[in-house]
Amino acid sequence: MRTNLSTIHTGRRFTVKRHAPSNIQAGMRRIERREWILWASAILVTLLLTLGILSFSFPMLREYAAGELADLHMSLAMRGLVGLVLLFDLYTIYQQFQIYRIRHQLVEREELFRLISENAMDMIAVVDPDWRRLYNSPAYARILGFTDEELTGTSFFDQVHPDDRFVAEQAVKDSTLATQVRTVQYRMRHKDGSWHVIESGASAILNPQGTVEKFVIVNRDVSEQRQLEEKYRQAQKMEAVGRLSGGVAHDFNNLLGVIIGYAEFLQESLAPENSLRSSVDEILKAGKRAASLTRQLLAFSRQQVLDPKVLELNVVVSDMDKMLRRLIGEDIELKTVLGASLGRIKADQSQLEQVLLNLVVNARDAMPQGGKLLIDTQNMVMDEAFVRRYPYPVQPGPYVSLTVTDSGIGMDPETKARAFEPFFTTKEKGKGTGLGLSTVYGVVKQSGGYIDIYSSPGAGTTFKIYLPRVDEALKTEKPSGEATSFTGNETILLAEDESSLRTLTRNTLELCGYKVLEAKDGVEALEVSDRYTGPIDLLLTDMVMPGMGGRALAQELTRRRPEIRLAYMSGYTGQAVGSQGPVDPGSVFLLKPFTRELLTRKIRDALDRRVLTETT
């Protein structure tokens, strides 16, 4: 039996499936066989007539041969009759071959039409002016699950969403007036009850009198496209909010640095029994809470400075196990499944611990009556087929996955779409900042990873984090000894564009015995260095300054003074730092806002060259 090929649309890929010949083709062949039988019967009858004529014409020919000329005219008539019959037979045979050739062409065109309709990704329907379906392409079964038998005779708009029916009907009616096909989008019901977004265009078929005889409606399922567009818009929104958050955090950190610094001066100058001491203590507490919020904003905007190291994810999870169990309480059952032979990752350990902590806290809050919490790690490979589901570029390759699954209340689609937005929370006022999941998102992205969320109301939530696998070996560092004193007498060049913070930092360092040369930007810092004839032991510079930034200043000053040591400070990394990677080896980094104790300790560490990089 002949078979033909048709293409089944599965997402973005196509698979080929074989079908038996269509009912139309089989019917054509049955008609063709019947016509052959009829024509064969006609030929047989004409042959019998010819034989009958010949049976009584031979005796007449013998009489003619014997000289009976009287009947000559009869013999000629009989010959003519036989010739006509034979000519009729030849014409019948010729006609049959012509009919066969034309029918063969019709079958080929029918086969071509069938191949086009069965292999088209779009759903094609032909309806009459009363909207009754006359034809439905096989794509309806593949996309919406309805067979041709289930659709035939029904109204085209039976599957259209009630809220969209007016739009769909109007678009079809407008096709009688439009010279070009106008496309509209509406929802159509799948056989399983779900709704698909359809892009539709209609064409009116007119009879010779100019009235509508049929409508040809072509529908395309754009549900996946709409989802990808929504994900892309969400990614763009997250990027825009991240840039805004980073800029706000940078300026806010400078202000917080001044507030915390001078509050510390006030705190030290007031005796514990002073009535103003409690007020100053509250100012410091509020400043440190605000600093914590800005750090979370920086984490979301991927503009914090990380200290990436080669880690074993299983070790990180195991070390946090006891703390997590105390955090979630006894009414939640925590289970960890650590993958065997798990690959290594490269990330900031403190930030990775913060990611896991935030996810566990989010799961705990989603299970107020208790439940189950699963933490799972495993190796995986993102192949080309896997990364195609993302609307943004994803690097294929080996990854280590961290999965956190809870049996909580779950999220509806609207909540899930906004889960990573900063300050978005479904918790009661005062019970959440809305920065927990945004911090997770930022840290994962800045670490070169990806995060997915799966959730539905009443079915719990699953977060899957993918971090790139590395082949580097673990490095062990010997802890350096703590400095006994944070004072000194070295010379420090201070470059900071925020005047109030520069004054506070200079006063703090001078109280510790250091000599401080100050500049408002990188260009002025180079001029100060050129004018100063003595040794400069340390450059303390802001990373982001107008004109020449901190990295460029450090490179130029190191060229002029090779012995100088480096210390960076910043409220965020921004483009100036993020595009160039971590700070220089042998230098230290201070994340604004910093306390007086942290500043003096970092400066002493940098001068003594005991610490490479510390971001706490």
3-state secondary structure of 469: strand
pLDDT at 493 over 90: yes
316 CB contacts (<8 Å, ≥6 apart)? 349, 352, 353, 356
What pLDDT was estimated at residue 28? 61
* 81-86 contacts, C-beta under 8 A, 24 or more apart: 81/53, 82/50, 82/53, 82/54, 82/57, 85/46, 85/49, 85/50, 85/53, 86/50
519 CB contacts (<8 Å, ≥6 apart)? 493, 494, 495, 525, 527, 528
Residue with tokens 């030290």: 268
- Cα-trace Rg, the chain: 42
Q: What is the pLDDT of residues 269-297, one digit of tens each?
A: 888 888 888 888 888 888 877 777 676 66
Contact 465, 403 (CB under 8 A): yes
What pLDDT was estimated at residue 541? 93
Give burial (CB, 10 Å; 0-12/13-18/19+) of 10. exposed
- Whole-number Cα distances in Å, 439 to 208, 295, 355: 68, 9, 7
573 CB contacts (<8 Å, ≥6 apart)? 298, 303, 304, 305, 543
- The predicted model scores a pTM of 0.49
Q: What is the pLDDT of residues 159-203, one digit of tens each?
A: 888 888 888 888 887 777 765 667 888 889 888 888 888 888 888
Question: Residue 3 — very low, low, confident or very high, per pLDDT cuts 50/70/90?
Answer: very low
Angle (CA) 321 323 328, round 5°: 95
pLDDT at 150 over 50: yes
List the one residue out of 421, 425, 444 whose CA is nearest residue 434: 425
Q: For residue 593, is the peptide bond before it cis, meaning its omega torsion is within 30 degrees of 0?
A: yes
Can you count the helices (H) and strands (E) in the chain?
Answer: 17, 19
- DSSP readout, 380-444? EEE-HHHHTTSSS----EEEEEEEEEE-S----HHHHHTTTSTT---SPTTS--S-HHHHHHHHH
176 CB contacts (<8 Å, ≥6 apart)? 204, 206, 212
Element (H, E) at 372: strand 371-382
Q: Average pLDDT, stretch 50-74?
A: 58
Q: What is the pLDDT of residues 199-240, one digit of tens each?
A: 888 888 888 787 888 888 888 888 888 877 777 776 676 667
Q: Which of 357-366, 437-446, 491-500 has the lowest mean pLDDT?
A: 437-446
pLDDT at 8 over 50: no
Q: What is the DSSP letter of 547?
A: S
What pLDDT was estimated at residue 251? 73
Residue 159 CA to residue 196 CA, distance in Å, equals 10
**CB-CB neighbours of 130 under 10 Å:** 7
Q: Express the helix, strand and coil content of the chain in percent, nearest 5 each.
A: 50, 20, 30
pLDDT at 309 over 50: yes
Q: Which of 12-26, 262-276, 569-583 has the lowest mean pLDDT?
A: 12-26
Higher pLDDT, 414 or 557: 557
Q: What is the pLDDT of residues 379-425, one digit of tens each?
A: 999 888 888 777 677 888 999 999 999 999 999 888 888 888 776 77
Q: What is the DSSP letter of 160?
A: B
- DSSP readout, 75-86? HHHHHHHHHHHH
Question: Residue 9 — very low, low, confident or very high, per pLDDT cuts 50/70/90?
Answer: very low
Residue 510 CA to residue 324 CA, distance in Å, equals 44
What pLDDT was estimated at residue 351? 81
Q: Which of 82-91, 140-149, 216-225, 309-318 has the lowest mean pLDDT?
A: 82-91
Question: Residue 242 — very low, low, confident or very high, per pLDDT cuts 50/70/90?
Answer: low
